[in-house]
Amino acid sequence: MTEDPSAPPASLPTLADALGIGPDDLVCAVGAVGAGGKQSLLSHLARDLDGVLTSTVRISVFDDEVAEVVVTDAPETAVAETPTRPLGVVRERERPDRYRGYDPATVDRIARATDDEVLVKADGARSRWLKAPGEDEPQLPDTADLVCPVASVRVVGEPLTDERVHRPELVSDVSGTAVGDAISEWDVAAVLANDRGGMKDVPETARVVPVLDMVDDERLAETADEIAGWLCEHPRVERVVATSLAADEPVVGFY
């Protein structure tokens, strides 16, 4: 089903429903969508679902986004014994503004220790709007149920350089667009749907729902619609969700 991205917010589902999140799903966000984008996506979900938020990579301090954060080397125990939700669990506070997460196998164990949805930031992007993963990215748990590759629609029309793109040379290899040339809707779709891009290392059993963020006006909604049209042709893409994650009601449309 396709919804008009310009439709009134009241006609649209919650973010969790738009993404198709089921009970006790292990949900991972990868890709790039600007400063705090993946984390904002996961924070919205943690609050909506009263879930558990964690990471397999570095993550900005998110104490204000959940009811409690536990810093621990025993996250399975913390999740099982701490009734507070939404709950954050992290391995250590690396510096005042940043936590360190766990290895993917530990996150697998966290998911087995709770019936709650577990929400995972699984790579970084240095505040860019589009990316291709490096050799050691993403850090996805084997038991991930849902993987959400994310990108900002605002990158369309921007030059393929490191100002807006993390690892532009790798994005060029995936999309075929030369470094320095303007990024098209096709480029964004190609990166999100490629096994060297947003699909990299996604477990065979995981569902894939790309997220197109920063859909903040009618022009950007048209951009999202075109990108989504390409993405929906991929056999592993279950649906595509357009968002404005800076808003209290973030869902703009879904396809």
- Predicted confidence at residue 124, as pLDDT, reads 80
Look at residues 82, 13, 68 and name the one whose alpha carbon lies nearest to residue 249.
13
| Cis check: omega of the bond before 210, within 30 degrees of 0 | no
Reading the block at residue 105, the tokens are 């196998």
Does the pTM surpass 0.85? The reply is yes
Instruction: Provide the residue-wise pLDDT of the chain in tens; the chain has 255 residues.
Output: 355 554 444 568 999 999 999 999 999 999 877 666 788 999 999 999 999 999 999 999 999 999 999 999 999 999 999 999 999 999 999 999 999 999 999 999 999 999 999 999 999 877 899 999 989 999 999 999 999 999 999 999 999 999 999 999 999 999 999 999 999 999 999 999 999 999 999 999 999 999 999 999 999 999 999 999 999 999 999 999 999 999 989 999 999
pLDDT at residue 208 in the model: 98
Instruction: Give me the pLDDT at residue 38, please.
Output: 87
Nearest to 46 by CA among 127, 140, 117, 142: 117
Nearest Cα neighbor of 233 from 205, 201, 210 is: 210
Q: What is the pLDDT of residue 33?
A: 76
Residue 105 CB neighbour total at 10 angstroms: 12
SS3 content of the chain, % helix, strand, coil (to 5): 30, 20, 50
Chain segment 115-147, per-residue pLDDT in tens:
999 999 999 877 899 999 989 999 999 999 999
pLDDT of residue 32: 79
